[in-house]
Structure 1
Amino acid sequence: MIGEPELDGEWSGGPPAEEARPEAPRGPAGRRLPWLWALGGALVASAVWAGLPAVQDRFAAAPRISYRHSEDLCKDAPLKVLDKLTGGLPHRQPGHAESPPLDWAGCDFSGDWFGAQEPGTKLDYYGRVQVDLHKKSDPGPEFGAGLGRDPYIGPEIDPVVAVPGLGERAMVHDHMYATRLQVLDGGAVFTLTVQWHGGDRTAGADKDAVAAAAIEDMRALMEALEKR
């Protein structure tokens, strides 16, 4: 019959002497101290609990995303100011994809290119607006360092100008035939590239006007996608 444990933690029954296991340490009164055997388990449990903040911090380090994913960025980014400035951007093509690390949405846009092949004709504009929502890694350290999925602007980027009051960080990249605006806000990266061709390319577009229009349209896009 299995014995009942006594109050001091000893078991009334025990194995034969030849099979006896090492006894638990005894105190000054000769009583066994079973709590020493439990101490190892308690220390392991303490280590587990001590490690929880680090685990929680690792998950808490996921980027903050304050914007919803767009399935039709051409609709969410009408680019009204740029449309007016450039004489119209009627051709739009949206695209998007979702994945565990990243959701992205884009919209390619362009004006009417008729007559742009002849010198001295009007400038025609085209470009892309895109939104990348980084759900796993912080895009901050690499922000502004690469081209991403931006096919319209090469590595020969000229001066970069900071734009205050737009997201956490914002910058305008100046190119000979293009202007690119990028905005970082938490895990969201917004990119708007405007390029032009035709006309007198030596004079080009009014870059200040293009940048100002891009900033206003970007502000409107961020407000449209902001989670309520």
Structure 2
Amino acid sequence: MISEPELEGEWGTGRPAAAAEAEEPDGPHERVRGPRRAWLWALGGAVLASAVWAGVLVAQDRFGDPAPRIAYRHPEDLCKVKLTAVSASTVQLTGDYARHEEHPALDWAYCAHGAPYVEGRLSYGAEVLVQLHKKADPRTEFGAGPTGLGGVGAMASSGGEVEQVPGLGERALLTRRVGGSRLEVLDGGAAFSLTVQWYGGPDAADPDEAAVQAAMVEDMRALMAALRK
């Protein structure tokens, strides 16, 4: 298992937390905004596969009672919660692809964020996944890797530097790898995942990774506050 050294220092960015919108629409369970980029479909498929896998474990009641505490509501359109801080540290990201599903054992919601391609610049993408485990405790699987919570997209591969992030939920892990970072948070029966990835040609300027990771923590706090009951 990947070691998890304690994170030194503070994760605050000094910027006020952005207000997040989290209204639930009355529309259908799927909404696609803007052009359907191929990478969105590919990453979305990986997320849905992970969610289905987690749902199977829950349905089998693998960890038994009692049911975990859930202090968050299920969002039908997770793209309504903007990644304001991440956008400020990278490029303006827009939620393009939202999915959600409710199940007696597991509710989950997903949103993929992207930005138009600009020649000579890095391209950025982000994914948000929220899972509400209603019958089984997700702590046993938390941070387990590509088949655990938040194992999505290119960040689903094993390896990378993992650090604990203090003051965020019951437990929070930040995984840093070349080309991206993933932040996972566990709070009772709720599991949150935010992945930010970047890619581009050799002439593109490298991102300020520390600023991106601090922005991820800020947006995760805003997301959790927006969904709290």
Question: Aligning the two structures, in what range does the TM-score lie when normalised by the shorter sequence?
Answer: 0.5 to 0.7
Return 5+ residue gaps in structure 2 as ranges.
Answer: 1-62
| Alpha-carbon distance in 2 for matches of 1:191, 1:66 | 16
Aligned residues: 164
| Alpha-carbon distance in 1 for matches of 2:115, 2:140 | 35
Asked if the contact 1:173/1:179 (under 8 Å) is kept, the reply is: yes
Asked if the contact 1:152/1:193 (under 8 Å) is kept, the reply is: no
Return 5+ residue gaps in structure 1 as ranges.
Answer: 1-57, 116-120
Q: Which has the higher contact order (CA 8 A, sep 6+)?
A: 2
- Corresponding residue for residue 91 of structure 2: 87
- Corresponding residue for residue 189 of structure 2: 187
When Rg is computed on C-alpha atoms for both structures, the one with the higher figure is 1
Tell me whether 1:70 sits opposite 2:69 in the alignment.
no
Higher alpha-carbon deviation: 195-204 or 185-194: 195-204
Question: Which runs of 4 or more aligned residues in structure 1 lie more than 3 Å from their structure 2 counterparts after TM superposition?
Answer: 199-204
| Alpha-carbon distance in 2 for matches of 1:154, 1:126 | 15
Report the 3-state secondary structure (helix = DSSP H, G, I; strand = E; otherwise coil) of the residue aligned with 1:153.
helix
- Corresponding residue for residue 152 of structure 1: 154
1:156 Cα offset (Å): 3.4
C-alpha RMSD of matched pairs (Å): 2.0
- Corresponding residue for residue 170 of structure 2: 168
The Cα offsets for residues 26-83 of structure 1, whole Å up to 9 and x where unpaired, read as: xxxxxxxxxxxxxxxxxxxxxxxxxxxxxxxx986101000000000010x2011111
Equivalent of residue 117 in structure 2, options 113, 116, 133: 113
- Corresponding residue for residue 123 of structure 1: 122
1:154 Cα offset (Å): 3.4
User: Normalising by structure 1, what TM-score?
Assistant: 0.67
Report the 3-state secondary structure (helix = DSSP H, G, I; strand = E; otherwise coil) of the residue aligned with 1:152.
helix
The Cα offsets for residues 128-170 of structure 1, whole Å up to 9 and x where unpaired, read as: 0010001111000110003355123132331101100000000
Question: What amino acid does structure 2 have at the position aligned with 1:205?
Answer: P
Question: What amino acid does structure 1 have at the position aligned with 2:96?
Answer: R
| Alpha-carbon distance in 1 for matches of 2:202, 2:68 | 44
User: Normalising by structure 2, what TM-score?
Assistant: 0.67
| Alpha-carbon distance in 1 for matches of 2:165, 2:95 | 28
1:127 Cα offset (Å): 2.1
Of all paired residues, the percent bearing the same amino acid is: 49
